[in-house]
């Protein structure tokens, strides 16, 4: 029997990682934000009522375009692994025979199938117990929802824009340093098993080249400016005392390969769980595209002026649009505090134990 509390309209939908009909075999549900989500929980696709509901979804599969709306079926029947497959762009199924997700959503063995609709912030906006005609009600509601790109008014994004963090001359110094270095394709963190993070390359998701800022003089100058000009504003706006900084890299999104970064969060794997705020400092302005957007909130993207910074919680889903002309250069550190430093130390120790077992 589930020990989770029932979920109601207005509640945040629990996040999870579970086996799924994706090429990687798993899916981190927090990445689904920024669009409407339909979750349909059921015991087995062989039940006549469930089969009828899934047929109704497939008849209206055009609604599940993967951009405005995405459907996830959640089955606890191990045999459904052979029966249910994704229908891209917007229909996938979770393999929940261990009931990890079903229990998390407060459903018990023997409960009737249940539907949830989630808003782009992954909050529950509607829920039904399945019955004849309910699948049609779900589809009808989806048709009435405003497109995520036009919903109005847009929710204010809890991000801080600061001009004049770096002077123009210092921006040029950093760009010159970058162009003189051997750069590398930037990777993304993924967890092969719980607690063990590895960096992988996925050019379909992220196209950016980085170099580590290793010049001690430049490192000190970056740190001094963030301590003087960024940390006090973080404390004023977010009531957070940033005492640590990491990942002093310089990055370039190049229009020659439409440099971009898909929607992601910066702290959802163990190796990055200690990160608290991202500090994205733009170094130039002679480019087009490359705006930083927040899909959970909608609205246009942000692009700080040269030398300006955009500061936001590492827990926010965000994306960098393709650069369409020129090159966008940026300095991209993270900040955190002493308590998060202890978490970083503990997670590194745990990862080392996993590797040596």
Strands (E), 10-55: 17-19, 26-28, 36-42
**Chosen domain end from 114, 144, 174:** 144
pLDDT computed for residue 149 by the predictor: 78
Domain that holds residue 124: 17-144
Tell me, yes or no, if the pTM score tops 0.95.
no
What average pLDDT is seen over the chain?
Answer: 92
Are 234 and 314 part of one and the same domain? yes
Taking 70 as the threshold, does the pLDDT of residue 2 lie above it? no
Taking 70 as the threshold, does the pLDDT of residue 196 lie above it? no
Are 136 and 211 part of one and the same domain? no
Are 320 and 234 part of one and the same domain? yes
Taking 60 as the threshold, does the pLDDT of residue 199 lie above it? yes
**Please, which residues bridge with residue 37 across strands?**
70, 118
Are 236 and 266 part of one and the same domain? yes
286 CB neighbour count, 10 Å cutoff: 10
Taking 50 as the threshold, does the pLDDT of residue 356 lie above it? no
Task: Read off the pLDDT band of 190 (50, 70, 90).
Answer: confident
CA distance 172 to 218: 12
Look at residue 151 and tell me if it is in a domain: no
- What stretches of the chain show up as alpha helix (H) in DSSP? 48-59, 80-83, 100-104, 134-144, 168-179, 216-225, 231-238, 338-356
Taking 50 as the threshold, does the pLDDT of residue 251 lie above it? yes
Residue with tokens 């998060």: 340
Quick: pLDDT tens for 83-140.
999 999 999 999 999 999 999 999 999 999 999 999 999 999 999 999 999 999 999 9
**Chosen domain end from 97, 115, 144:** 144
Quick: pLDDT tens for 3-54.
567 899 999 999 999 999 998 899 999 999 999 999 999 999 999 999 999 9
> What mean pLDDT do residues 342-350 have?
90
Q: Which residues contact 186 (CB under 8 A, 6 or more apart)?
A: 206, 208, 209, 210, 251
Are 127 and 218 part of one and the same domain? no
Supply 232's token pair.
């006090």
pLDDT computed for residue 312 by the predictor: 98
Are 60 and 121 part of one and the same domain? yes
pLDDT computed for residue 303 by the predictor: 94
Task: Read off the pLDDT band of 194 (50, 70, 90).
Answer: low
Q: How many domains, in total, are found in the chain? A: 2
Are 67 and 180 part of one and the same domain? no
Are 225 and 165 part of one and the same domain? yes
């Amino acid at each position: 029997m589930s020990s989770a509390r029932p979920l109601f309209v207005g509640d945040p939908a629990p996040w999870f990682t579970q086996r799924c009909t994706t090429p990687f075999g798993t899916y981190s549900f927090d990445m689904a934000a920024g669009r409407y989500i339909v979750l349909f929980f059921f015991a087995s696709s062989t039940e006549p009522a469930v089969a009828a509901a899934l047929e109704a979804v497939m008849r209206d599969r055009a609604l599940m375009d993967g951009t405005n709306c995405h459907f996830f079926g959640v089955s606890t029947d191990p045999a459904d692994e052979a029966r249910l497959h994704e229908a891209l762009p917007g229909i996938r199924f979770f393999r929940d025979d261990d009931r990890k997700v079903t229990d998390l959503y407060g459903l018990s063995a023997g409960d009737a199938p249940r539907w949830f609709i989630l808003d782009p912030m992954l909050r529950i906006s509607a829920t039904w117990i399945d019955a004849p005609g309910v699948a049609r009600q779900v589809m009808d509601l989806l048709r009435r929802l405003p497109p995520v790109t036009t919903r109005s008014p847009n929710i204010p994004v809890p991000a801080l824009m600061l001009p004049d963090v770096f002077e123009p001359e210092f921006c040029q110094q950093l760009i010159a340093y970058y162009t003189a270095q051997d750069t590398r394709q930037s990777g993304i963190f993924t967890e092969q098993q719980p607690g063990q993070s590895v960096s992988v390359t996925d050019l379909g998701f992220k196209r950016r080249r980085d170099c580590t800022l290793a010049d001690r003089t430049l490192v000190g100058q970056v740190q001094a400016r963030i301590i003087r000009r960024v940390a006090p504003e973080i404390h004023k706006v977010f009531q957070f005392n940033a005492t640590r900084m990491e990942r002093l890299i310089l990055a370039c999104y190049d229009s020659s390969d439409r440099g971009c970064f898909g929607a992601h969060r910066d702290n959802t794997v163990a190796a990055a769980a200690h990160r608290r705020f991202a500090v994205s400092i733009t170094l130039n302005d002679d480019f087009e595209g490359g705006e930083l957007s927040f899909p959970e909130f909608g609205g246009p993207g942000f692009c700080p002026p040269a030398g300006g910074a955009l500061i936001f919680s590492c827990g926010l889903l965000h994306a960098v649009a393709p650069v369409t002309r020129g090159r966008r250069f940026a300095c991209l550190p993270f900040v955190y505090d002493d308590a998060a430093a202890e978490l970083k130390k503990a997670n590194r120790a745990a990862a080392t134990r996993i590797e040596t077992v």
